Amino acid sequence: MPRFAANLSFLYTEHAFLDRFAAAASDGFRAVEFLFPYDAPAERVARTAQDAGVEIVLFNLPPGDWARGERGLAALQGREAEFDAALAQALDYAKILRCPRVHAMAGRVEDGADFATYLANLRRAAPVAAASGIDLAIEPINTRDIPGYFLNRQDEAHAIRTAVGAANLGVQMDLYHCQIVEGDVARKIERYLAGVSHMQVAGVPDRHEPDTGELNYPYLFELVDRLGYRGHIGCEYRPRATTSAGLGWLEPYLA
């Protein structure tokens, strides 16, 4: 049975961030993820999750200047020192939050992203994360949501994963992004699942609940379950109304 994690940067936004943990738990979630935890002390976030009875399974490294449009540092030329500092901060949080995985966003082409820098940074970062017992993830993202994002396709991500050659580097496979960029999602799952360390979902094309749109999620959930995926599936979508009102699609899996 698939295990789902509530993405607290997208869901329960009617609540303050730290109040979303308990809201997710009350709806049956036992795991959460989010974009960035850095506005709150790590100890407070950890205590909030523990009190709510949920585990934290994923968050992102600091992405650079988000307000200015930066979307990651991992592939940006000349920003290696900032990337190393972002990795150190994320690992410090991950250890306190007992989070097994952090996502290193690549960045945008227009901000100076290139392949050689990306590869070198990941090769340097993976063993540092491994020394703390933490996995590193990279994610193909569509250029409709993030124009100019450097990494877009599953084959590109898995080629990078292979080139880095680190056991703790995996691909974060968001089926929403995959459908927009490539389609043929079931075959992509079958081909690449062995290298996938985390999955995410949303309805396509509007990024609402996964019970609407062009993807047959019950079929895909059965597929990943049959193929033996044991990681979490992050619910990274924008609810049509309140989060709780739109969770009817999840009830069979929570039961």
The catalytic residue among 33, 55, 139, 209 is: 139
| DSSP bridge partners of 32 | 6, 56
Active site residue 139: yes
Active site residue 156: no
3-state secondary structure of 232: strand
Cα–Cα nearest to 97, from 50, 161, 147: 50
The catalytic residue among 55, 70, 209, 236 is: 236
Q: Angle, nearest 10°, between helix axes 185-192 and 154-164?
A: 10
3-state secondary structure of 101: strand
8 A C-beta contact, residue 49 and residue 30: no
3-state secondary structure of 70: coil
8 A C-beta contact, residue 203 and residue 210: yes
Residues assigned a catalytic role: 139, 236
